A = this chain, B = another copy of it.
């Protein structure tokens, strides 16, 4: 039996951003030795791991050298070198999610085609190799405005996704391989985090409901549990579970879904790692998503995903037109509000819409939590005053 705690076992994490940072809260809680690699010397994970390595996550040699020193390797971002992961697996390193799973997800075109092949409900789509093909298809009336455009590779935090409404917008899209999707007139945007360990044991978290910022394509409020019937919530969890099984995913899988106006649950996209939509679990679930991810990849039993009480989460993003050393204005007002816990990711520089932190609001009544969350958003500004 592997001795994970206070031992010579090493967990490697590719990526040193806030998701990795929050994984480190759990590895510190359990005294698990961790190595982290990131390309930035100011990465949030820089302290609290046992060894921090500067390196390019997309570089074959960097990932290979890093991975050879650990027993289990996981990720906090999908944009990593897959060939190195394949080689590491051959050499006996346990990689979760596996490179074969990651390959099905990393490229959004491949991901959509996987749903189609496995009869997982998702919006109609086509995949194009370049902008010319996209424009040609538009000429040929394969699809019409408005529609959703997604870059196949490299999208993150709302980047690489556009709702295209006009010919002008269509003309100014980047020239990249992309996915063209129908724009679904949805009722609500949802997410379900699925945890699945190395033994195939799986659990789902409460369904969360997402309210989005109108233009930045970033989520504003995440409410858990989602305000919906138990029947619909169950349906969403079942679809999410099916997706996780189909991918043979090990670790967390954040499944973003739409509830359509006709009451259908369809899959938007997934991320095989801890996710923004799961941060509520830190204050509000029996087992937070970060501890859960570690249970999964270490082959430990899953923790209970029951929710303790309602929670609303808001993101802290850099205010428009502010860049430089960050100042969290209004923090004292925020801290005086009941049930409010801010999380500061440790990025010293702010810029427009940069994800700098989040705030969790817990309350026994979700309406109250939502109301306090609005006050939180009014009270705090992430600016630069230098």
Interface residues of chain A, those whose CB is within 8 Å of chain B, are: 1, 3-6, 21, 24-25, 28-31, 47-50, 286-287, 291, 295, 300-301, 303-304, 306, 308-309, 326-328, 331-332, 335-336, 338-348, 362
A291 touches B3 (CB 8 A): no
Give complex CA distance A286, B1 in Å.
37
A-B pairs, 10 with minimum CB distance? A301-B336, A31-B346, A48-B48, A304-B338, A31-B344, A308-B308, A301-B335, A5-B344, A30-B344, A300-B335
CB A340 to nearest CB in B, in angstroms, measures: 8
CB distance from A323 to the nearest CB of B (A): 14
Beyond A6-B347, A31-B344, A300-B335: 17 further Cβ-contacts under 8 Å? A1-B332, A3-B327, A4-B331, A5-B331, A6-B344, A24-B28, A30-B343, A30-B344, A31-B345, A47-B49, A286-B339, A286-B362, A303-B338, A303-B340, A303-B341, A308-B308, A308-B309
Task: Assess the B301–A344 pair: CB atoms within 8 A.
Answer: no
> Knowing A5-B328, A344-B31, A345-B31 touch, does A304 contact B47 (C-beta < 8 A)?
no
Measured between beta carbons, the chain B residues less than 8 angstroms from A48 are 24, 28, 47-48
Chain B residue numbers with a CB within 8 Å of A303 are: 335, 338, 340-341
Bound CA span A340–B304, Å: 8
- Residues of B near A1 (CB, < 8 A) are 332
Chain B residues with CB under 8 A of A4: 331
Report copies per complex: 2
Q: How far is the CA of A273 from the CA of B4 in the complex (A)?
A: 31
Give the docked Cα–Cα distance between A6 and B308 (Å): 31
Q: How far is the CA of A301 from the CA of B308 in the complex (A)?
A: 24
Closest chain B CB from A300 CB (angstroms):
5
Inside 8 A of A30's CB, which chain B residues have their CB? 342-344
CB contact between A25 and one of B25, B301, B336 (< 8 Å): that residue = B25
Residues of B close to A347: CB separation below 8 A = 6
A5 / chain B contacts, CB cutoff of 8 Å: 328, 331, 344
**B residues in contact with A47, CB < 8 Å:** 28, 47-50
